[in-house]
Amino acid sequence: MHELLERLGRGDTRILQMCADANKAWRDFLTELETADVGTVGARLGFFQPTVEKIFESKTLGQTMMPWTAFASLYDTKTGWGSNQRKALELIQAFARSNCSVEVKSEARSAAISYELDKHPEFPRAM
């Protein structure tokens, strides 16, 4: 998050396109795995991490932004989760089970809490 804020503060407008590209990549990823179980999604997340790092042109920024952009692609600030809530809860579990970096897993937990998914009864307590 520090790198994101630093780059935004410097006026790096490329971040806008990176976020748009990440949103499209997540929509494609989630559509492709729409019927997959949590274990399969978790396994694929590890292979998807380098793609997100490439989009953000930085390993550290990519690791930070990976979970945030994932949940952002499912959430609408006006209507909330809607029909995407189940997918968001499954995504939390998938991140926890994945072989993504520790940084990605930590950010996934922070993002889930920020989006108040931790208040849902199905939120995985052991992440």
Tens-digit pLDDT profile for residues 46-64: 999 999 999 999 999 999 9
Cβ of 45: how many Cβ atoms within 10 Å? 25
Per-residue pLDDT at 124 exceeds 90: no
86's tokens:
């189940």
The answer on pLDDT for 123 being more than 80 is no
Structure tokens at 114: 């920020």
Query: Does 67 reside within a domain?
Result: yes
Q: Is residue 99 part of a domain?
A: yes
Whole-model pTM? 0.90
Q: Is residue 39 part of a domain?
A: yes
Count of domains observed in the chain: 1
Whether residue 9 lies inside any domain: the answer is yes
| 127 assigned to some structural domain | no
Residues 86, 92, 71, 32, Cα dihedral to 10°: -70
Q: What 3-state DSSP class applies to 78?
A: coil
pLDDT band at 2 (very low <50, low <70, confident <90, very high): confident
Where in the sequence is the domain holding 12, given as residue range(s)? 2-119
Q: Is residue 82 in some structural domain? A: yes
Phi, psi angles (nearest 5°) of residue 124:
-70, 115
